Amino acid sequence: MSDAPRYRFAPSPTGYFHVGGARTALYNWALALRTGGTFVLRIEDTDESRNSPEWTDGIIDALAWLGIDSGHPRFEGPYFQSHYAGAHVAAAMRLFEAGLAYWCDLTPEQVQERAKASGRPGYDGHSRDRGLEQAPGRVLRFRVPEGTTEVADLVRGRVEFANDTIEDFVLLRGNGTPIFLLANVVDDIEMRITHVVRAEEHLPNTPKQQMLWRALGHAPPAWAHVPVLVNEQRKKLSKRRDKVALEQYRADGILAPTMVNYLMTLGWAPGGDEEIVPWTRIVEEFRLEDVNHSPAFFDEKKLLAFNGDHIRMMTGAEFAAACAPWLESAPWSGGRIDAGLLARLVPLIQTRVARLSEVASMVDFFFLPSAPVDDDAWTKTMSSEFARDVLVEMESALGSCRWTLEEIKACLERFTEARGLKLGKTQAPVRVAITGRTVGPPLFDSIEILGRDESIRRLATAVARLG
Ligand code: GLU
């Protein structure tokens, strides 16, 4: 049997795929790729009241978007935890037969009453030596040994837990179903997992799980608990407060390579000064030992800046291909986009957007039959005393100039200088007449691309509107 490492990602499909989960998945994926190991995807779907198949599909789809492709030779799964309930129960029964677990008939209320009376929180081991047999309503509890449990964590170092702070925890509920802790360990054992890399919130489970690994006759895996992601107030990212769904960022036009790069560098940095690094370099350099212990700030502004950088790194053709679906889904496109026109727009917009969702409203005026005039923009720019003059002048000048960028610009410059104005001022009404807005891609380039007839028509329309 190969001794290559086996990593796993074990999400519970109970909601939108969280960016923190995405980071954990990427860590595992990067490690599996570098070490020639395997990435196992296990869907922990045992909480029937909270699971749904859509969430599972969402996870698989989001992983594929991030490049964690279920068709890759290093990818194994998905496995579904709910298919292995038999193995979970069997493992618990083995522990009982070996004397490492025992049945207990106390109800949760009775456990609480006893704790209150004794002043010691938690279950007091009441049934440890009562020799109870299995019966409906009885829970199976693990007999926590004396001593200490030392967890060797690749991120956090050695963490020691005194066993007397850990109660004899439940393995099987009163209805016979296994609890998460047990299912998770049994699956990891069965799937021959060598490295458990997961969110920090599972650290308190780890001593219990390590005891279970040993009790079931196996050396525990290497553990690594990665720090939580926090918001600007240093509070743990939560779906109630923060934008945490990967899907939302994707729908917003964040590129997959940006998301991968950004998530990987939260709490970890590649060597050198650059922050924008390709996946291949991340895979080569990423080490759990270098992951920071403290919570990592998920900074949306920084993510946007990263995205702008990644957009700038694309070739024109790549950028056009990335924009195309966004334009095709804009209501005015009818699902089709003139590829030749888009190719000409690329140099104007690639340097100006931070996310793909901005593209459609930036270039719509090229595709629409007339300028989509915004009322505020109109009021703000068309009330200047020279607005009408500049439009009339441009209408006539553009009718006879040579159709080059320089000549188009010279038309407006001549008017501007003759009136002793500034180009920024005189551009404004022309921009609104042509594009409908006060901001957008460079004006003279836009006029050149739009063409002589269409530009003149838009200027004339604006003059007519001014009356
Ligand atoms: N299913 C657990 C979760 O989504 C993960 C447990 C683990 O990684 O061990 O939080």
Establish whether residue 228 lines the binding site of ligand 1, counting it when its CB lies within 6 angstroms of any ligand atom.
Answer: no
Residue 2's pLDDT is what?
67
Establish whether residue 44 lines the binding site of ligand 1, counting it when its CB lies within 6 angstroms of any ligand atom.
Answer: yes
> Which atom of ligand 1 is the closest one to the Cα of 21?
4
Q: Ligand 1 pocket check: which of 202, 205, 236 to mutate, most ligand atoms within 8 Å of Cβ?
A: 202
Cα(176) to ligand 1 centroid in Å equals 22
Positions marked active-site: 239
Residue 3's pLDDT is what?
84
Residue 47's pLDDT is what?
84
Cα(62) to ligand 1 centroid in Å equals 17
Establish whether residue 180 lines the binding site of ligand 1, counting it when its CB lies within 6 angstroms of any ligand atom.
Answer: no
Residue 116's pLDDT is what?
96
Residue 160's pLDDT is what?
97
Establish whether residue 11 lines the binding site of ligand 1, counting it when its CB lies within 6 angstroms of any ligand atom.
Answer: yes
Which H, E and C letters describe the chain, residue by residue? CCCCCEEEECCCCCCCCEHHHHHHHHHHHHHHHHHCCEEEEEECCCCCCCCCHHHHHHHHHHHHHCCCCCCCCCEEEEEEHHHHHHHHHHHHHHHHHCCCEEEECCCHHHHHHHHHHHCCCCCCCCCCCCCCCCCCCCEEEECCCCCEEEEEECCCEEEEEEHHHCCCCEEECCCCCECHHHHHHHHHHHCCCCEEEEEHHHHHHHHHHHHHHHHCCCCCCEEEEECCEECCCCCECCCCCCCCEHHHHHHCCCCHHHHHHHHHCCCCCCCCCCCCCCHHHHHHHCCHHHCCCCCEECCHHHHHHHHHHHHHHCCHHHHHHHHHHHHHCCCCCCCCCCHHHHHHHHHHHCCCCCCHHHHHHHHHHHHCCCCCCCHHHHHHHHCCCCHHHHHHHHHHHHHHCCCCHHHHHHHHHHHHHHCCCCHHHHHHHHHHHHHCCCCCCCHHHHHHHHCHHHHHHHHHHHHHHHC
pLDDT along the chain (467 residues), means of 10: 88 93 98 98 90 89 97 97 97 98 97 96 96 97 98 96 97 96 98 98 97 98 96 92 94 97 96 93 97 95 97 97 96 92 97 96 96 93 94 97 98 96 96 96 98 98 94
Cα(440) to ligand 1 centroid in Å equals 46
> Which atom of ligand 1 is the closest one to the Cα of 205?
9
CATH topology classification for 375-466? Arc Repressor Mutant, subunit A (1.10.10)
* pLDDT, tens digit, 9 for 90 and up, residues 423-465: 999 999 999 999 999 999 999 999 999 999 999 999 999 999 9
Residue 52's pLDDT is what?
82
Cα(17) to ligand 1 centroid in Å equals 13
- Domain boundaries along the sequence of the chain: 314-359, 375-466
Establish whether residue 202 lines the binding site of ligand 1, counting it when its CB lies within 6 angstroms of any ligand atom.
Answer: yes
Cα(138) to ligand 1 centroid in Å equals 27
Establish whether residue 198 lines the binding site of ligand 1, counting it when its CB lies within 6 angstroms of any ligand atom.
Answer: yes
> Which atom of ligand 1 is the closest one to the Cα of 14?
4
Residue 129's pLDDT is what?
97
